């Protein structure tokens, strides 16, 4: 079974991708920026961008029958090395008890105001089996 999840973002239609794709018990979430869909703006703070991205990711995971607690891998794409401490402060509390495999890369973002993009892979039921 394959299930595709869309947030309704115009970016998904324009670029031709799904926010998340569930295949059996695994959910792959596309790279997600900190865009605030309620205000249709990108916050200035990388911490706020990270929190927005995680909220968007969690919503997509829930629609696919999962949640952030089921995350087994996370990749952070950060626009500048100087932002790392603020990113860690925003995401650390979310993942401190989940402890997924993780990578952080310093990259050039596709738009000026973007400072972070987060990509996760979740396995449905992982939250009940981690220690």
Among 34-38, 63-67, 85-89, 94-98, where is mean pLDDT lowest? Answer: 34-38
Residue 130 confidence (pLDDT): 54
- 2-129 has which CATH code? 3.30.1330.40
pLDDT at 11: 82
| Residues β-bridged to residue 119 | 75
Parallel, antiparallel or unpaired: strands 116-123 and 71-78: antiparallel
User: Do 47 and 118 contact (CB within 8 A), yes or no?
Assistant: no
Q: What is the per-residue pLDDT for 78?
A: 99
Are the CB atoms for 126 and 28 separated by under 8 Å? no
């Amino acid at each position: 079974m394959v299930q595709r999840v869309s947030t309704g973002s115009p970016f998904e239609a324009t670029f031709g991708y799904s926010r998340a794709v569930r295949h059996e018990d695994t959910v792959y979430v596309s790279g997600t920026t900190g865009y605030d869909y309620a205000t249709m703006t990108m916050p200035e703070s990388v911490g706020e961008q990270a929190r927005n991205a995680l909220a968007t990711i969690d919503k997509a995971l829930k629609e696919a029958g999962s949640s952030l607690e089921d995350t087994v891998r996370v990749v952070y794409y950060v626009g500048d090395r100087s932002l790392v401490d603020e990113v860690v402060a925003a995401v650390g509390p979310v993942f401190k008890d989940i402890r997924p495999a993780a990578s952080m890369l310093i990259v050039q973002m596709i738009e000026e105001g973007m400072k972070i993009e987060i990509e996760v892979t979740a396995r449905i039921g992982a939250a009940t089996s981690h220690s």
